[in-house]
Amino acid sequence: MVRKSKGRQKVEMVKMPNESNLQVTFSKRRSGLFKKASELCTLCGAEVALVVFSPGKKVLGELEAEKKRGEELIQMRKASQAQCWWENPIEELSLPQLEQLKAALEELKKNVAKQAEKIMIQNSGPPQFLGASSSSGGGINLPFDLQSAGFNPNMMPPHGYNNPGFGRGFY
């Protein structure tokens, strides 16, 4: 059996003159480096750091852009904190800011209580009965099924009766 190709050859360790070959080789070898570093961490528990600079200097340009973006974000955050002073920790607020915050929280508490009471009244109001004429109802219109069940509104317990279910209300 005769070999037609020389197979895998050892690469001479000098900088490659062809730019496109250099970029391809760099990408493949870089990923191999990261894989080996990851294996070393996993198998041995070692802490490994790799710093790799692209021959095309792309990483340095991206790094500078990210640094600039980070500085812009810090400036935006500072401007936002100046506008939203109430989001700062309480220890950092001045006395007038604390007084203003207290008044705003008290107003919020009142509004929440009013809204909760309004919703409770809407949800737990007396049931709505359909009117039906009745001579035994003492002038009160009751649904037919209550009248036929023997319900007599004249036999209601007096106000303040302490039996559970009677005389209870909202306080």
pLDDT tens for 12-48 read 888 888 888 888 888 888 889 989 999 998 899 889 8
pLDDT band per the 50, 70, 90 thresholds, residue 87: confident
Tell me, yes or no, whether 31 lies in a domain. yes
Tell me, yes or no, whether 43 lies in a domain. yes
pLDDT at 18: 87
Cα–Cα distances (Å) from 145 to 101, 109, 137, 157, in that order, read 56, 44, 13, 21
pTM: 0.31
Tell me, yes or no, whether 132 lies in a domain. no
Tell me, yes or no, whether 4 lies in a domain. no
Domain range for residue 21?
17-52
Q: Which of 10-19, 58-67, 127-136 has the lowest mean pLDDT?
A: 127-136
Tell me, yes or no, whether 6 lies in a domain. no
Tell me, yes or no, whether 111 lies in a domain. no
Determine the Cα–Cα distance for residues 11 and 148; give it in Å rounded to an integer. Answer: 103
pLDDT band per the 50, 70, 90 thresholds, residue 93: confident
Instruction: Give the residue with greater pLDDT, 62 vs 136.
Output: 62
Are 133 and 141 contacting, i.e. CB atoms less than 8 angstroms apart?
yes
Number of domains into which the chain is organized: 1
pLDDT at 113: 95
**Most confident listed range (79-88, 110-119, 124-133):** 110-119
Tell me, yes or no, whether 30 lies in a domain. yes
CB atoms closer than 10 angstroms to residue 142: 21
Tell me, yes or no, whether 45 lies in a domain. yes
